[in-house]
Structure 1
Amino acid sequence: MNCEFQKVENIILAYPKSFKNNFKKAASVIEELISKIPDKINVKLILSNENDLNYLYDVIGYRKSIQPLIVKGWDEIWLRDCMGFINGNKLIKPIYFPKYCDYRFRWKYFNRINQLSKDIISTLVKKEITDIPLIWDGGNLINNEEYGFMTSKIVEDNPTFSKFYIEKMIEEYLDIKPIIIFRQDDDVIGHIDGYASFISNDKLGVSLYPDMNFLRDDNVYLEELIKSAHYLGLETVRILDRPIDESIKCQCKKKKRSGCYSVSRGIYINNIILNDLIILPQYTLTTRRETEFYNNRNRELYEGMGFKVETVNCDSLSQFGGSLHCLCWTY
């Protein structure tokens, strides 16, 4: 099973400048991110308009080689969720159909992205695609060579299968032992990569939240995650996160808040590892003091573990509920 802390040669991203949805507001994040990727990493870029590549080169300069792929009708930036998982010479492809609060309104969209993502895999990755009959977002998996952590969202999204059957299916297709931990009720998305990431085969980075009332359930969840990691003999490193209590508008009317989703501002664990480099998100938090503390402290934490560190401002991206790890697909 491919692990993202292993040697990386390629990164696939989507450039949303001409997308027909609000994701185009995050184009500046993709531009800055590409400029921070080392030249030795092959950048493969999905575009919906062939003129966008020239615009991108005007912004970042022509020093970086980019392999473009024009995909008409593509308007998804969350490649981590929709591309699948590499296991040896195969790409294991789940069904991309996120069952969030508004999923019933978006069936045609997810069906289109599922079909187009297979075309992208065939063109850019060139691996045999094996379908796994699970509704499963890629952001709900972090793994080393032996274990794969995920939340119970995978059980909720596949009610026709028992938890036991889901676990056995994952073991068979991905050659890892699934560790399914509960999803706290207020986390609609249920992606574990918003809480933890493997730094090496035996070291797991886990978020450390401040002691605030709105984070109470998240802190309980994090303690359970740490217990599970220690039980498996993994070392844990706490990464300082400072989530902001702000929701994102959606079509769901179940709650009194404006939306069920939370912004991802303040989530530093959702970063990208490219060999000896970590690209960290940066945010503007509630005060200048908090902003400087969390942005600088997390850089120091990763530098202390021997990584080079680059940063990308993700304020405009966080309004969509994801960050850097959600954007990219590496191998």
Structure 2
Amino acid sequence: MHCDFDKVNNIILAYPRSFKNDFNKVSTVIEELICKIPKEINIQLILSSDKDLDFIHQRIDTDRKIETIIIKDWDEIWLRDCLGFINGNKLVKPIYFPMYCDYRYRWNYFKKINVLSKEVITTLMGNAIIDIPLIWDGGNLVSNGEYGLLTSKVIEDNPTFNRYYIERIIEDYLEVKPMIIPRQKDDVIGHVDGYASFINKKTLAISKYPNMRFIQEDNVYLEEFVSQAQNRGLKTIRVFDRPVDQSIRCNCKKKKRSGCYSVSKGIYINNLILNDTVILPQYSLPTKRETIFYNQANKEIYEQAGYKVESVNCDLLSQFGGSLHCLSFVY
């Protein structure tokens, strides 16, 4: 199957300026990202209004060609999660139904995105679509073409299937060996791309957190993560992440909670690899010293791995619980 470090020619993004939800607030992040994408990559945008393409060209002052599809009712930015996985010339499409705390109130929304996402795939990519009978977000998989690394959230989301059956489905449809690790108990989202990414076939980058009280259990979890990867013969490198202790308000109607999952501010592992370039998220961390250290240290890590490094400020984007890898779909 397609891996993050494979050669790519195209990137699909959603431009949310006319979306009828709060995602329209991150339009400036998309504009900055477009400016950092290497010139050889074809940009494909999902718009909800035909006026938005002209607006982009006014905002970013670029003459590069941008291919578009206009879908009036589209209002999703997390393309990694909702489009699926590429395996050869096929697009393997799971059921997009993120089972977070508010999922019962959003059934019609997910039903709509599942239908419209197939229109995106057919129009922009032209791949044959193969439905895989699993509820599964695309952010919960990173692969080197041999192993498919994901968390046990996929087991929780498909309670009518046992673990063995889920692993066999994944292996049959994607031709990788599933490596399912337990979901960290406080991680509601359960996406592996918040902890790890393959930078080449043999090397897995894994988050490294500072020694702080509120992430002590996360540090134990990440060390076990490293052990499991190394036991399978993978080389590991550590990316400096500094998750900020802030919660995101949601619509789950649980009155005793002010927020049910964490912002993604400080998660640098959720980056975007485009051939020989890595586009890293940047964040404004609680202190100026931290901000300078994390932004610079991670830039040097990827440069040492042989990549050119660009960056995009993701402070706004992080308030929605994702970052650049979640935002993009490449092929």
Query: Which residues in structure 2 correspond to 1:307-326 (within 5 Å)?
Result: 307-326=307-326
Q: Which residue is equivalent to 2:249?
A: 249
Aligned residues of 1:252 and 1:259 also touching (Cα < 8 A) = no
Cα RMSD, aligned residues only: 0.9
Q: How far 1:280 sits from its partner (Å)? A: 0.2
Aligned partner of 2:154 in structure 1 is: 154
Q: Structure 2: how far apart are the matches of 1:189 and 1:254?
A: 17
Q: Give the Cα separation in 1 of the matches to 2:65 and 2:52.
A: 15
Q: What is the alpha-carbon distance in structure 2 between the residues aligned to residue 255 and residue 287 of structure 1?
A: 32
- 1:31 maps to a residue whose letter is E
For 1:146, give the aligned amino acid: E
Q: 1:66 maps to which residue?
A: 66
CA distance in 2, matches of 1:266, 1:225: 19
Compute the TM-score of the two structures, normalised by the length of structure 1. Answer: 0.99
Residue 20 of structure 2 is matched in structure 1 by 20
TM-superposed CA distance for 1:251, in Å, is 2.3
Partner in structure 2 of residue 9 of structure 1: 9
Aligned equivalents of 2:323, 2:90: Cα separation in 1: 27
Please list, as runs of the form range in 1=range in 2, the aligned pairs for 1:73-222 lying within 5 A after superposition.
73-222=73-222
Distance in 1 of aligned mates of 2:38 and 2:8: 11
Match of 1:290 in 2: 290
Q: Could you give the per-residue CA deviations for residues 57-83 of structure 1, whole angstroms, max 9, x where no partner exists?
A: 011113221001101100000000000
2:200 alignment partner AA:
S
Between 223-232 and 19-28, the greater mean CA deviation after superposition:
223-232
Aligned partners of 1:73, 1:91: CA distance in 2, in Å? 22
Question: What residue number does 1:48 align with?
Answer: 48
CA distance in 1, matches of 2:312, 2:105: 33
TM-score, length-normalised on structure 2?
0.99
CA–CA distance in 1 between the matches of 2:255 and 2:158?
24
CA distance in 2, matches of 1:94, 1:232: 27
Tell me by how many angstroms 1:137 deviates. 0.1
Task: Render the CA deviation track for 1:94-149: whole Å, top value 9, x for unaligned.
Answer: 00000000000000000000000001100011011000000000000000110000
Give SS of 2:130's match: strand
Structure 2 Cα separation of the partners of residues 43 and 129 of structure 1: 21
Unaligned runs of 5+ in 2: none
Query: Match of 1:293, SS?
Result: helix
TM-superposed deviation, 1:252: 3.0
Q: Secondary structure in 2 aligned to 1:133?
A: strand
Identity %: 65
Farther off after superposition, 216-225 or 117-126: 216-225
User: Superposed, which structure 2 residues align to 1:217-236 within 5 Å?
Assistant: 217-236=217-236
Task: Report 1:267-286 matches (<5 A).
Answer: 267-286=267-286
Number of matched pairs: 331
**For the residues of structure 2 that align with 1:230 and 1:184, how far apart are their CA atoms?**
19
Deviation at 1:244, TM superposition (A): 0.2
What letter matches 1:98 in structure 2? Answer: P
Cα deviation, 1:220-276, whole Å, max 9, x if unaligned, reads 221121111101100000000000000000123558441111000000000000010
> 1:4 offset after TM fit, Å?
1.5
Cα pair 1:151 1:180 within 8 Å, conserved: yes
Contact 1:247-1:257 within 8 A present in 2 as well: no
Report the equivalent of 2:327.
327
Q: Which amino acid aligns with 1:156?
A: E
Matched letter for residue 83 of structure 1:
L
The alignment partner of 1:13 has SS state of strand
